Amino acid sequence: MDQPTIILLLEKYARGAASPEEAAQVNAWLQQATPAEFDAVLQQCDVPAEFKAFPPVSPEFAYRLENQLDALEEGPAPIRRRGVVYLKRLAAAAAVLVLLAAGALYWLRKPAPQPVAQAVPKVATPQVHAPGGNRAMLTLADGSTIVLDSAQNGVLAQQGSTRIIKLNNGQLAYTPPAAGNGSEAVFNTITTPAGGQYQLTLPDGSKVWLNAASSLRFPNHFSGDERSVELHGEGYFEIAHNKTLPFRVKVNEAVVEVLGTHFNVNAYSDETDVRTTLLEGAVKMSKGAASVLLAPGQQARLQKNGNMNLVKEADLEQAMAWKNGYFQFNKADLPTLMRQIARWYGLEVVYEGPVKDYEFVGKIARNVYLADVLKALEGSGVHYRMEGNRLIIMS
């Protein structure tokens, strides 16, 4: 197949406009293309940047590309560094993206993939576990609930003079009451399940993105001398500036206070600490008498024992990875990696025997099936089996 033809087919494939026959032609070409050919064609395609970053190729193709790249690399034979897993990034990427680790003394190469029946015993295929999406439940002050992902666009409810609206883009928005309206504020809660995420605009115009298995309690309109919400789980905030009404996010027993800024808060109860990462503006994180003032690019970490630390050069890309559509790991241990995967795919993770002392470095797109994620982990030495909704990690 000549290059102009495959470019045309890939562009149709990226838009979801390829016929079954054209998709078959693309897959057939992928089976015989070299890494250089694939990269050259992909860079000439008029497709979204997200498609170039995470082209939906099969894990088998990803492994084949990586093995070819390994054969082209120069230098001494690789040495396995015990306990460290480096998921390697392909030249043209793949459905499961991986990165080269910076600063490592040695590299761990993935072995060529083995047939599934030989490498990993499975009771049930994980392919049924689709990636998460925009799913959430809104609980109103009177206890009634609205399933947001299935609700029709338009006005969902009215609380006093405040209207709750589902916009055409699927987001939730609140129209604030008219100036001078003295109606008492009531509190609503938006909750995302495991495998869900959602975006909403608060009555003051502030925007919030909620990650999986999270909740946000907030009033239908802000009154008094502050704007206050309560977060469980993880959320990214873009706060509307109002110097007379400070904005406060209550997380566990801590408070994040801002005037107008962009920041992320990770406050899952099963994580080792609460992390507030600042992208723009200024925030103060406090608990009792302890407090930390953040500048852009910094992160505050509140440990379960009450200690609070400041990271002056935070990994912003890692903190924002979930909002940008992928998982990112920078020397993460296996339980840390699995907690993120479990929330997104709605899994219960169980360990058989001791947990391997691995550290993972890499990226995984959040728009792939669980089977693709597990295939990548399998190639890095993580063995597992599925029993219904339970993912059992074997020693």
3-state SS, one letter per residue, for 336-391: HHHHHHHHHHCCEEEEECCCCCCEEEEEEECCCCHHHHHHHHHHCCCEEEEECCEE
Q: Which of 239, 242, 215 is nearest to 226 (CA)?
A: 242
Distance in angstroms (rounded) separating the CA atoms of residues 180 and 183: 9
Distance in angstroms (rounded) separating the CA atoms of residues 275 and 266: 5
Contact 6, 27 (CB under 8 A): no
Distance in angstroms (rounded) separating the CA atoms of residues 322 and 318: 8
Long-range CB contacts for residues 71-77, cutoff 8 Å, separation at least 24: 72/35
pLDDT, tens digit, 9 for 90 and up, residues 9-58: 888 877 767 787 887 788 778 777 775 677 778 778 887 655 655 555 55
> What H or E segment, with its residue span, contains residue 334?
helix 334-345
**Range among 109-118, 128-137, 179-188 rated most confident:** 128-137
pLDDT, tens digit, 9 for 90 and up, residues 173-198: 998 766 555 678 899 999 999 999 99
CATH 3.55.50.30 fits domain 54-129+315-395 = yes
Q: What is the pLDDT of residue 388?
A: 87
Q: What is the pLDDT of residue 153?
A: 93
At residue 44, the 3 state secondary structure works out as: helix
Nearest-5° Cα angle at 79, 76 to 84: 140
List of residues 6+ apart from 194 with CB closer than 8 A: 132, 212, 213, 342, 343, 344, 345, 346, 347
Q: What is the pLDDT of residue 373?
A: 83
Q: What is the pLDDT of residue 202?
A: 95
Distance in angstroms (rounded) separating the CA atoms of residues 223 and 201: 17
Nearest-5° Cα angle at 101, 331 to 80: 85
pLDDT, tens digit, 9 for 90 and up, residues 71-97: 544 444 333 333 444 443 332 233 333
Model confidence at 214: pLDDT above 80 = yes
Distance in angstroms (rounded) separating the CA atoms of residues 284 and 321: 23
Confidence of residue 100 (pLDDT cuts 50, 70, 90): very low
Which single residue is written with the structure tokens 């860079």?
Answer: 43
Lowest mean pLDDT among 7-16, 239-248, 281-290, 300-309: 7-16
CB atoms within 10 A of CB 227: 23
**Residues 207-225: what's their mean pLDDT?**
94
Crossing angle (nearest 10°) for helices 59-72 and 35-44: 120
Distance in angstroms (rounded) separating the CA atoms of residues 58 and 30: 9
**Residues 311-327: what's their mean pLDDT?**
92
Q: Which residue has the higher pLDDT, 79 or 289?
A: 289
Model confidence at 163: pLDDT above 60 = yes
pTM of the model: 0.71
List the structure tokens of 311. 């990271």
Distance in angstroms (rounded) separating the CA atoms of residues 66 and 130: 25
Distance in angstroms (rounded) separating the CA atoms of residues 215 and 213: 7
Mean pLDDT of the chain: 79
At residue 38, the 3 state secondary structure works out as: helix
Q: What is the pLDDT of residue 289?
A: 87
CATH of domain 133-314: 2.60.120.1440
Distance in angstroms (rounded) separating the CA atoms of residues 205 and 171: 13
State the number of CA atoms in the 13 A half-sphere of 160 facing the CB. 17
Q: What is the pLDDT of residue 181?
A: 55
List of residues 6+ apart from 62 with CB closer than 8 A: 90, 94, 95, 96, 376
Distance in angstroms (rounded) separating the CA atoms of residues 348 and 109: 29
φ/ψ of residue 187, rounded to 5: -105, 135
Model confidence at 326: pLDDT above 60 = yes
Which single residue is written with the structure tokens 């609460």?
Answer: 274
Q: What is the pLDDT of residue 201?
A: 95
* Domain range summary for the chain, segments of one domain joined by +: 54-129+315-395, 133-314
Q: What is the pLDDT of residue 179?
A: 59
Model confidence at 8: pLDDT above 70 = yes
CA-to-CA separations, 362 to 97, 126, 324, in angstroms, rounded: 7, 22, 15
Domains 54-129+315-395 and 133-314 share a fold: no
Q: What is the pLDDT of residue 305?
A: 87
Distance in angstroms (rounded) separating the CA atoms of residues 93 and 57: 9
